[in-house]
Amino acid sequence: MDKWSEIRAKLVDAQEGLYKIDDEYRKSKNDLDTKWEFLGDFYRGLDQKFDEKHSIILSEYSKMPDATEEMLDAAVETIRRYQWVNEEEFKTRQRELERKYDDLEDSYKKKYRKQESVVEQLSSELKACQTDEK
């Protein structure tokens, strides 16, 4: 195999490497997007559940003849505490996903730039080789 063909083969492999990096990035990003959507759905579902529980408690306490305002306040406060804990958990998971997005983006850019420089170098070598042959 002559030098031009050898460089050309390496260039094709390097370009395929760029496509592979893009594909891996897209797949990873799609996975994170799916997790983000699930997290959002989960949070919306939790909010709805807490609203339902709050309504149920208010309804049940209104039916109890011996219910006191303190009992109702304690029950509502318990719901609020659970809601706060779940919101904190949601925020923690949200921050983790945001970090994963950032890490993925950084990793992708580094890999892509590195592979792109290989492609550029091989392209230059190929042009130089073509010039030498003329």
Q: What is the pLDDT of residues 65-101, one digit of tens each?
A: 887 888 888 888 888 898 898 899 999 999 999 999 9
| Top-confidence range, 14-23, 59-68, 123-132 | 14-23
Q: Which of 12, 17, 18, 16 is nearest to 123 (CA)?
A: 12
Alpha helices of the chain — where are they, by DSSP H? 3-63, 69-133
Token duo for residue 92: 């923690």
As a whole number, mean pLDDT of residues 14-40 equals: 96
Residue 1 binned pLDDT confidence (cut-offs 50, 70, 90): low
Contact 84, 98 (CB under 8 A): no
Residues 6+ apart with CB under 8 A from 83: 46, 50
Q: How far apart are CA 107 and CA 25, in angstroms?
A: 9
Residue 47 binned pLDDT confidence (cut-offs 50, 70, 90): confident
Please tell me which residue, 104 or 47, carries the higher pLDDT value: 104
Cα angle, residue 124 at apex, residues 122 and 130 outer, rounded to 5°: 100
Check residue 49 and give its pLDDT: 85
